[in-house]
Amino acid sequence: MSSRGGKQKKGNVTSEQEEEEQPLQAVLVADSFNRRFFPISKDQPRALLPLGNVAMIDYTLEFLTSTGVQETFVFCCWMSNKIKDHLLKSKWCRPTSPNVVHIITSDLYRSLGDVLRDVDAKNLVRNDFILVYGDVVSNIDVSQALQEHRHRRKVDKNISVMTMVFKESSPGHKTRCEEDDVIVAMDSKSKRVLHYQKTQGLKKLQFPMNIFQHGSDEFEIRHDLLDCHISICSPQVAELFTDNFDYQTRNDFVRGILVNEEILGNQIHLYVTQDGYGARVSNLQMYDSVSLDMVRRWVYPLTPEANFTDQQGQGCTHSRHNVYRGAEVSLGHGSQMEENVLIGRDTSIGANCHISNSVIGNNCTIGDNVVLDRAHMWNNVHVSSNVEIHQSVVCDGAVVKEAVRLNKQCVLAYNVVIGPNLSLPEGTVVSMHHPEEEEEDDDDEFLSDDQEVGHSKDKTRQKAFNPAEVGPEGKGYIWKASMNDTEDEELAQCLWGLVLNPDPESDSESEASEESQDRSRSVSPEIDDVNAFQLEVLGTLQRGLEENIVCDNLVLEINSLKYAYNITLKEVMQILTRVVLEYPFQQQGTQLTTLQYTGSLLPLLKTWSPVFKNYIKRAQDHLDCLSAVEELFLEQDTHQTAMVKVLMKMYQLEILEEEAILKWFSTGATNDKSRQLRKNQGVRRRVRRMSLRRKESAEDESSEEGECGRRGIKTEDLRTV
Amino acid sequence: MPGADKETDLTERIEAFLADLKRGGSGTGPLRGSGEMARETTYLLRRITAQARWSSAGDLMEIIRNEGRRMTAAQPSETTVGNMVRRVLKIIREEYARSRGSSEETEQQESLHKLLTAGELSEENFRQHFVHLKANVIEAINELLTELDGTTDNIAMQALEHIHSNEVIMTVGRSRTVEAFLKDAARKRKFHVIVAECAPFCQGHEMATGLSKVGIETTVIADAAIFAVMSRVNKVIIGTQTVLANGGLRAVNGTHSVALAARHHSTPLIICAPMFKLSPQVFTTIFYPFPGSFSYCLPVLREILSKVNVHCPVFDYVPPELITLFISNIGGNAPSYIYRLMSELYHPEDHKL
């Protein structure tokens, strides 16, 4: 530990020297820009939801302050007034606070990208800054990472734009959020990120070839990393967000940087820490586990009894088995607090209760014979006698009447009343807001929980509460997974984040990549763009065939695709050839016989010959096209004989020139397989014949037209086949 | 207004110190070692005395008591802070008494009769205003600071009286005081030191490196081997985190087993502890915090950890009957004499802040 301590000390000293010139700044995004905590976050922004009876944003600010941040910009959007009030009352806005907090609010922020563009527009950061969300709980010492980041920037002349902080934790650990599950390829020595991909539950993953060719002799592909959502950014990051207005999230940014690495010369690095704790509360599952970790003291020194927010009356005592008690807590006769229990001030608990692994807020009343296991109760909750609560969240002001049972993963949002004598099934979400009110108001796809929802209160009042759902005296509407709307189906899962349901776009994206993965087993050193382009070309041709579109228009479309995906002419041609040759397989499955294959392919070649001609002009183009043909037939071993016909057809349609074919035949044999291909009887014969013809035609060039000669060959061919 | 400036500067310093205390539990934060902690606290208290607004000794004591309460609450496991606050309070009492002209002795002598009749009188006594009181108090705090600076040296000076040639000494974990003590002895004598590594933090490794650097013959053993090795040991010399009022110890985890092993083999157990570690607290059950940052003990979070509760107690309580001798900066004392030192250092009314 001495070496570690020593290093830290040194780090502090150097960073302090630099800090004297420029205070360390941080950008805290106090908005999630998604609706994972709906309907809870309808009443309270996520950053202010209590975790261990302290608002989440306080953990983030404490983390920043303890790392030596002197100036923090808090960006809020959804319910910005509440966040502002909270911060103004907290210790962060006292004049003595070492960390000056600026609050910037705007209703226009829709994403992290908007926030950073605003940072750039307002010119807020002057030096490296730390970027975090308002729901990050961490005690990681980032001074080491900060030092590495600065060192890299000094050595490499500002090439490194971002250092992401990751924590080692093996797959399956409960603080690993499945949505954020990430696979990273990095250079072992320089810690440079080569590839970054969210796994999204995919079984197959694809790595671009160039990461293996990057000159570095050692690199790692890691899946044991937990994204702490803490990143050290240089001021360029904000500028890059401005330049690329389509960057919405950090994920976009990282992918963008990696794809354009060669062009812009920017790099992203990684800092992997082994000790410390860092997690982002991105859904209720995470909320549950982070809250428990907090009570189990993993986030030391941010423990409940430390009262780091310095609020009056928030202090509590800590006793064995991690039982924390606030001031004025009363506990009835025979009640047991087994382990990992945090009870806020002025809370009274009745007799014969059984409490374990739970957090109970301030001013709660709990009746007799109550069983709480992994319950998260916020402030002013009333629980009557004989209630059982398992792994559920009960928000402020909720009332649970007699003999109610909340099964796993229930959520009672603000001021809901439940019961009496009711058992809520697993995963029930009850809110005072009617789900339909929600639907009416958000036709907008992009609505996030930070958008003001017009309250149509009169309407909701008219709708009666369903006593079968919330009990005879209950108040609240059920937000159920089984509602007709698919969006609601997402909701319950999103809240707890148990089942992976990626967004529709990413879904299709992953499918697409899987698909393309199946087909393009070639060792092409290209990235996603090429695959996407290939798919598009295929689609275009298909459509062209179905709707009988003129070839000129097809060319036009392919050209525009070429620009959209930034594909070189050479690649266009190779892909086009490949798509066309694979077309029969696409349409009729891979079980075709060679005869069927050629039968369906040859007419297609004829139809699309103008398209080919448009792209194949120079001699080099011919060779490239031939190599694409060769590559494909190398893969399709069984159909090698068809190659003869394909080549012939292309020759006849004047797609390929005789000269090129001859040249290809004489030069190209690069490996055994392709040599074998060339040895193939048909090909050899064809080519020999071609060369013969060439001599002939050279001899009596004057007498015969080229077309006639070709016709001659054609008839000859028909005879040979 | 320069006065207001001073005041905000002061509160800023206090806040910063409190924050340091909160983050710096068990020696991992910016403040390391109780010696440093004691000095920092005393500097701060001197600053409060100099800069806060007060007109009489009573006011000053109230201010210091308030701040002291906050400081001790910020890091309950670090008793040094509270001890220093008590020392300063005692200084103020003495200086006040001196200014009034009454001798300290009469003030100190508490008879049973006086205890029963005194009541609130004592607070009223401090209302009188003295011009030189501030200067005197600061002067006395400066003396205290010089005393703090010299503690380790004072303890180390006594080393030759306790360590003889060719002895085998055992120690546990790392203590700056013990390290200085052994190093001092090594200048004249040759002896062997066995260091128990003190898992999971393994401070013993550091200790061993430090000792072997100055040429002391050093062996590191696992904690489990303590009892087995004890029969060969002539003396056990250890440090402690706190000396409790009854003469017991609150020391690093594992000390109790060492003390029991030493008792079994009738090996003398010597504690090196500077006077500022003497705390008027006594052992109670709530006095058992686990301020462990567990990730140190379990570097790799495995899947199974989700289902496991990990407890990592950091301190042991060692009862006074297992201890042979305390070596402090004012000399060697038996555990039974601690009560006397206590009453010399702290005023009985300050035991509870």
In DSSP notation, B17-66 reads HHHHHHH-GGG-SSS-SHHHHHHHHHHHHHHHHHHS--SSHHHHHHHHHH
Element (H, E) at B326: strand B325-328
Q: Which residues of A touch B30 (CB under 8 A)?
A: 12
Q: Of A614, A680, A480, give the one whose Cα is nearest residue A688.
A: A680
Written as one letter, the residue type at B54 is: W
B201 interface with A at CB cutoff 8 Å: yes
Q: Which residue is closest to A173 within chain B, CA to CA?
A: B303
**In b/e form, how buried is each residue of A403-438, taking b as 16+ CB within 10 angstroms?**
bbbbbbbbbbbbbbbbbbebebeebbbbbbbbbebb
Q: Which residues of A touch B294 (CB under 8 A)?
A: 296-298, 300
- What was the pLDDT predicted at B44? 92
Does the pTM exceed 0.80?
no
**Separation of alpha carbons A233 and B229, rounded Å:** 54
For chain B, count helices (H), then strands (E): 14, 10
CA distance B334 to chain A (A): 32
CA distance A16 to chain B (A): 13
For residues A579 and A541, the answer to whether their CB atoms sit within 8 Å is: yes
CA distance A65 to chain B (A): 10
- What was the pLDDT predicted at B78? 80
**Separation of alpha carbons A204 and A517, rounded Å:** 9
Residues of chain A with pLDDT under 70: 1-21, 158, 172, 174, 178, 214-216, 262, 437-463, 480-528, 590-591, 667-721
Distances, alpha carbon A265 to alpha carbons A146, A161, A257, in Å: 21, 10, 9
- Residue in A142, A300, A321 to test binding to B, most B beta-carbons within 10 Å: A300
User: Strand, coil or helix: what is B310?
Assistant: coil
User: Strand, coil or helix: what is B307?
Assistant: helix
The neighbour count for residue A654, using CB atoms within 10 Å, is 14
Cβ-Cβ contacts under 8 Å for B108 (sequence gap 6 or more): B343
- What was the pLDDT predicted at B306? 62
**Separation of alpha carbons B280 and A318, rounded Å:** 21
A340 interface with B at CB cutoff 8 Å: yes
Chain-centroid distance of CA A146 in Å reads 25
- What was the pLDDT predicted at A526? 46
B294 with A298: Cβ contact below 8 A: yes
* Residue of B32, B290, B302 with shortest CB distance to A170: B302
The neighbour count for residue A298, using CB atoms within 10 Å, is 25
Q: What are A50-74's pLDDT values in tens digits?
A: 998 889 999 999 899 888 888 999 9
- What was the pLDDT predicted at A678? 62
Residue A315: φ, ψ to 5° = -65, 155
B309 with A276: Cβ contact below 8 A: no
User: Strand, coil or helix: what is B149?
Assistant: helix
Q: Which residue is closest to A309 within chain B, CA to CA?
A: B19
Chain-centroid distance of CA B329 in Å reads 12
Q: Which residues of B touch A172 (CB under 8 A)?
A: 303
**Environment class of A108 (CB within 10 Å of its CB; exposed 0-12, middle 13-18, buried 19+):** exposed
Give the pLDDT means over successive 10-residue stretches in chain B (353 positions).
Answer: 66 82 56 81 92 87 90 82 92 87 56 60 68 90 93 92 94 92 94 90 89 94 94 94 90 90 95 92 57 48 61 81 93 91 87 81
Q: Which residues of A touch B23 (CB under 8 A)?
A: 66, 301
- Residue in A298, A302, A319, A341 to test binding to B, most B beta-carbons within 10 Å: A298
CA quadruple A52, A478, A409, A199: dihedral, nearest 10: -100
B209 with A171: Cβ contact below 8 A: no
**Separation of alpha carbons B159 and B155, rounded Å:** 7
Beta bridge partners of A51: A54
ipTM of this complex: 0.79
For residues A534 and A578, the answer to whether their CB atoms sit within 8 Å is: yes
B292 interface with A at CB cutoff 8 Å: yes
Pairing of strands A371-373, A354-356: parallel
A531 interface with B at CB cutoff 8 Å: no
- Residue in A65, A93, A166, A297 to test binding to B, most B beta-carbons within 10 Å: A297
Q: Which residues of B touch A174 (CB under 8 A)?
A: 306
* Residue of A2, A175, A300 with shortest CB distance to B293: A300
- What was the pLDDT predicted at A449? 43
- What was the pLDDT predicted at A463? 62
A454 interface with B at CB cutoff 8 Å: no
Written as one letter, the residue type at A352 is: N
Q: Which residues of A touch B202 (CB under 8 A)?
A: 1
